[in-house]
Amino acid sequence: MLTGIEESFRDKIVLITGASSGIGEELARQLGRAGAVLTLAARRTQLLQVLGQEIRAAGGVEPLIMQCDVTQDEDPRHAVAETVLSRGRLDIVIANAGFGVVGSFAQLTVEDYRRQFETNVFGVLRTLHAALPEVVKTGGQLVIVGSVAGWIASPGASPYAMSKFAVRALANSITPELALMGVRVTLISPGFVESNIRRVDNQGQLHAEAAEPVPRWLVAHRSHAVAQMLRAIARRQREVIITGHGKLFVALERFAPWVLRAAAHRMAATRGSYRTAPKST
């Protein structure tokens, strides 16, 4: 899958947050095959242990497993410190941990938005701040997993879209700043990719039995999408849009935004729940 770019990652020390499932899990799997030396960080360490065994069985270097909740200030710092203590340096950090809060604005609370930002925005900030001093030493790379939702906001997903707009703004702002320090920033903006993110509720709890709400034909295969992501990281690109439909949506937002606005109005009208009266708080 990674033919031609394996040398870009061989022996590189890479920390991945949110590595226990979805895109983070597949990033770990493919990087392990490419010869990267991994730190896998997430809340669910049992899943990380299983993934680590798989990577080792496939001939990769045994990953360092770290319990890490990016909403806690100390956890990302601890993951970075243990990586450097164990491996001697840190080359690439992939801030991947995230989930989606959905629902109509009238039904959501301020706390729902705060919970979304604690993981998707402040969790990224905690990870990048913790890693920056070490990545400066190696002239390395900070990778942020954003979303096409950072370009296009749709009805019923305002917390998630806000969080992804925020990390895209963060990436755009810090890219020239950190370039002066020898650090490259890469923003990955996927469309719909095979993942558990749409089976996670607004409290961050996984419901593995839940049906995929997005039509199957619109969901990109995870291994293919992650191979594209790693190609962009290897090339140290500034931003990459992943999936064909994602590229189409971003192009429409840039050059024909009225098309998406009309679609959003139709979507809101179809889902009459958006007219529900606000909650009392």
Residues 203-248: tens digit of each pLDDT? 555 445 544 455 565 677 899 999 999 999 999 999 999 989 999 9
Determine the average pLDDT of the residues in 178-193. 96
Answer yes or no: are the C-beta atoms of 159 and 113 closer than 8 Å.
yes
Model confidence at 262, pLDDT cuts 50, 70, 90, reads confident
Instruction: Assess if residue 164 is contained within a domain.
Output: yes
Question: Whose CA is closest to 29, among 12, 16, 42?
Answer: 16
Catalytic-residue membership of 113: no
Length of the chain: 281
Domain total in the chain: 1
pTM of the model: 0.86
Q: Give residue 254's region: left, alpha or beta (phi > 0; psi -120 to 50).
A: alpha
Q: What is the pLDDT of residue 267?
A: 74
Using the predicted structure, report yes or no on whether residue 195 has a pLDDT greater than 70.
no
Q: What is the pLDDT of residue 253?
A: 87
- pLDDT, averaged across the chain: 88
Using the predicted structure, report yes or no on whether residue 81 has a pLDDT greater than 90.
yes
Instruction: Assess if residue 281 is contained within a domain.
Output: no
120: number of CA atoms within 13 Å, CB side? 28
Instruction: Assess if residue 1 is contained within a domain.
Output: no
Using the predicted structure, report yes or no on whether residue 170 has a pLDDT greater than 90.
yes
What CATH number corresponds to the domain at position 195?
Answer: 3.40.50.720
Q: What is the pLDDT of residue 277?
A: 37
Q: What is the pLDDT of residue 153?
A: 93
Catalytic residue among 9, 99, 151, 160: 160
Instruction: Assess if residue 120 is contained within a domain.
Output: yes
Domain boundaries, position 65: 6-275
